[in-house]
């Protein structure tokens, strides 16, 4: 079978750079530090890694303690507990569930063993010559589900998502989009979501969308093989009351768009265009909150099939899904892709009159056979996914995020006890996927680690230690080596006493696994490839574009 998306033919490069992961020295400083060379047009070399990173750009004046949150709110207004000083600023999440601050994005090009080769800064409002009319994009610093990087199916570019907004804007990640306004959203602002495309030449193109109003776009992947020119996106929508407006229901989950070359100010995106739909009613369960069964986080393309993950939220099933373009792969909501299936090229032809009653119909998505089907799982939190071959799938599980801490053991107990968090290896046997084993060695789940300059002791607002600990993995990428092993890199998730654990300095880690093994080989262990510093977060990882 022909692999597409994250599995790109790099055999000649792999022979030169077989895994030698090591801790990186001289990582860029965080708040107030120098993030490294910061310009577009920096060439990207095949065989390296690209890591998305954000640096908090605020200071004490960014938020005033006692100020009204969300800014401009007319309902559900609260008072800020802390000013904009990092990291105490994230204690405001306890009073404002929509709290977030936009920040610049950087793309670090590193070797597979962590050596920094250069940094590209995504255009943003803090740069000279970037007024509001110029192309630009930011992320929400504490939104842990953002910033995933995905290679185009032909390897020509990397895509990711953010917002058309200035740096240091508040609560943008829960704002409306300009074309889909929910009047019950307590966040009054409206900001377009944006897909960025970075080519091998280091230059950007941006595409604006009205999808994901009230929440965030999380990842995008560009299909350019066989003459295609299609963007697939994943994310969540809605931050207001139930029932949700139709634009919220149609603007979440799996979306499709056409990449643009015009400047952002000249683009006029229409209403959201969903490409996939799933409902728990397909499993025989009772209808839950419409639009939230597709609160997806990760996506990839393999062998002409779109795959998605869901790992959070109080509705739906936390598991791995795929889009069925044949219409008969899984009549009961569970199945396997049909051989010869094609990628969707048009939006889902849904029935508008049924949106308020049953959401997007007809449903054209299925749970991948063998993966969890339980509602509201307490043990399944899939995020990134990567195929090593047609019968081997690696799934990142980020853990449950529960920060219970034991002074007796000096660990976050739920994270330390998890048997499912980390890197899960699934194999296809006898017509069903089966969990072979979960790689956790070297992650030190639940064990706090030190970040230079970070507060010590407990956060008075939470009563828990500031020091973060790894809880699992989020976004991943990988490559198959000539010796039959696969090297997989992943971004860690964390638990801590921070007011928002998504703001914790986290890590990029890597491991090499025997692809053919069905039980965990002895000695396999994650090593830290790169670590975020004070005021930094790591979000996505990808192989660099090949320039095709």
Place of tokens 């990988």: 478
In a domain, 375, yes or no: yes
In a domain, 4, yes or no: no
Q: In what order do the strands lie in the sheet with 150-151?
A: 150-151, 157-163, 193-199, 204-209
In a domain, 178, yes or no: yes
In a domain, 270, yes or no: no
Compute the distance between CA of residue 383 and CA of residue 439 in angstroms, rounded to an integer: 15
Count, in order, helices (H) and strands (E) of the chain: 4, 32
For residue 300, what are the CA distances in angstroms to 54, 98, 219, 307, 406? Answer: 23, 28, 9, 5, 38
Compute the distance between CA of residue 269 and CA of residue 211 in angstroms, rounded to an integer: 10
Compute the distance between CA of residue 202 and CA of residue 200 in angstroms, rounded to an integer: 5
Compute the distance between CA of residue 250 and CA of residue 211 in angstroms, rounded to an integer: 8
pTM of the shown model: 0.93
Pairing of strands 102-103, 49-55: unpaired
For the chain, residues with pLDDT lower than 70 are 1-42, 548
Helix, strand, or coil here: 237?
coil
pLDDT at residue 18 in the model? 31
For residue 118, which of 220, 181, 206, 41 has the smallest C-alpha distance? Answer: 41
Range of the domain at 460: 11-20+47-237+247-262+276-543
In a domain, 157, yes or no: yes
Q: pLDDT tens, 430-461?
A: 999 999 999 999 999 999 999 999 999 999 99
Compute the distance between CA of residue 223 and CA of residue 413 in angstroms, rounded to an integer: 42
pLDDT at residue 38 in the model? 44
In a domain, 30, yes or no: no
Residue 465 has phi, psi (to 5 degrees) of: -60, 145
pLDDT at residue 227 in the model? 86
Compute the distance between CA of residue 346 and CA of residue 230 in angstroms, rounded to an integer: 9
Tokens representing residue 461 in the block: 């607002």
Compute the distance between CA of residue 412 and CA of residue 295 in angstroms, rounded to an integer: 27
pLDDT at residue 14 in the model? 33
Tokens representing residue 420 in the block: 């499912």
Place of tokens 């490559």: 479
pLDDT at residue 74 in the model? 83
Compute the distance between CA of residue 283 and CA of residue 461 in angstroms, rounded to an integer: 42
Compute the distance between CA of residue 468 and CA of residue 144 in angstroms, rounded to an integer: 14
What's the structural domain count of the chain? 1
- CA-CA-CA-CA torsion for 354, 359, 364, 368, nearest 10 degrees? -150
- For 266-296, letters b (16+ CB in 10 Å) and e give ebebeebbbbbbbbbbbeeeeebbbbbbbbb
In a domain, 368, yes or no: yes
Helix, strand, or coil here: 467?
coil
Contact 508, 408 (CB under 8 A): no
In a domain, 42, yes or no: no
Q: Mean pLDDT across the chain, nearest whole number? A: 92
Helix (H) or strand (E) run with residue 468 in it: none
Tokens representing residue 187 in the block: 């966040």
Compute the distance between CA of residue 237 and CA of residue 294 in angstroms, rounded to an integer: 9
């Amino acid at each position: 079978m022909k692999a597409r998306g994250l599995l790109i033919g790099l055999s000649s490069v792999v022979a030169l750079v077989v895994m030698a992961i090591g801790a990186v020295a001289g990582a860029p400083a965080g708040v107030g530090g120098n993030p490294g060379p910061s310009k577009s047009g920096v060439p990207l070399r095949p065989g390296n890694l690209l890591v998305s990173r954000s640096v908090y750009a605020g200071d004490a004046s960014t938020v005033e303690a006692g100020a009204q949150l969300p800014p401009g709110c007319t309902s559900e207004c609260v008072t800020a507990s802390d000013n904009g000083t990092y990291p105490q600023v994230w204690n405001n999440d306890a009073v404002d569930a929509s709290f977030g601050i936009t920040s610049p994005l950087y793309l670090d090009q590193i070797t597979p063993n962590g050596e920094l080769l250069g940094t590209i800064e995504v255009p943003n409002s803090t740069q000279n010559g970037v007024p509001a009319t110029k192309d630009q994009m930011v992320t929400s610093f504490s939104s842990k589900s953002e910033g995933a990087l995905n290679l185009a199916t032909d390897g020509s570019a990397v895509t990711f998502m953010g917002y058309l907004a200035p740096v240091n804007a508040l609560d943008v990640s829960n704002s409306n989009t300009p074309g889909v306004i929910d009047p019950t959203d307590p966040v009054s602002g409206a900001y377009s979501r944006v897909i960025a495309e970075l080519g091998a030449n280091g230059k950007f193109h941006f595409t604006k969308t009205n999808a994901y109003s009230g929440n965030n776009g999380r990842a995008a992947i560009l299909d350019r093989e066989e003459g295609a020119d299609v963007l697939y996106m994943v994310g969540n929508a809605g931050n207001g009351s139930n029932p949700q407006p139709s634009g919220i229901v149609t603007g979440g989950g799996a979306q499709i768009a056409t990449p643009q070359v015009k400047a952002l100010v000249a683009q006029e995106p229409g209403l959201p265009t969903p490409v996939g739909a799933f409902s728990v009613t397909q499993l025989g369960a009772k209808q839950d909150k419409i639009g939230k069964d597709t609160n997806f986080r990760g996506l990839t393309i393999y062998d002409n099939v779109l795959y998605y993950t869901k790992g959070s939220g109080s509705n739906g099933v936390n598991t791995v899904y795929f889009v069925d373009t044949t219409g008969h792969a899984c009549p009961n909501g569970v199945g396997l892709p049909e051989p010869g299936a094609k990628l969707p090229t048009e939006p889902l032809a849904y029935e508008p009159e049924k949106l308020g009653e049953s959401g997007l119909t007809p449903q054209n998505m299925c749970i991948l056979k063998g993966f969890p089907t339980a509602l509201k799982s307490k043990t399944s939190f899939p995020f990134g996914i990567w195929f090593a071959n047609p019968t081997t799938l690696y799934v990142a599980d980020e853990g449950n995020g529960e920060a219970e801490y034991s002074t007796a053991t000096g660990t976050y107990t739920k994270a330390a006890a998890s048997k499912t968090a980390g890197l899960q290896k699934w194999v296809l046997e006898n017509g069903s996927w089966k969990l072979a084993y979960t790689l956790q060695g070297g992650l030190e789940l639940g064990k706090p680690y030190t970040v230079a300059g970070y507060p010590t002791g407990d956060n008075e607002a939470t009563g828990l230690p500031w020091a973060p600990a790894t809880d699992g993995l989020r976004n991943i990428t990988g490559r198959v080596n000539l010796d039959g092993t696969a090297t997989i890199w992943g971004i860690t998730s964390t638990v801590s006493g921070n007011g928002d654990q998504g703001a914790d300095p986290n890590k990029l880690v890597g491991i090499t696994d025997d692809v053919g093994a069905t039980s965990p080989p002895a000695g396999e262990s994650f090593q830290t490839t790169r670590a975020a510093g004070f005021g930094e977060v790591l979000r996505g990882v990808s192989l660099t574009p090949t320039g095709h």
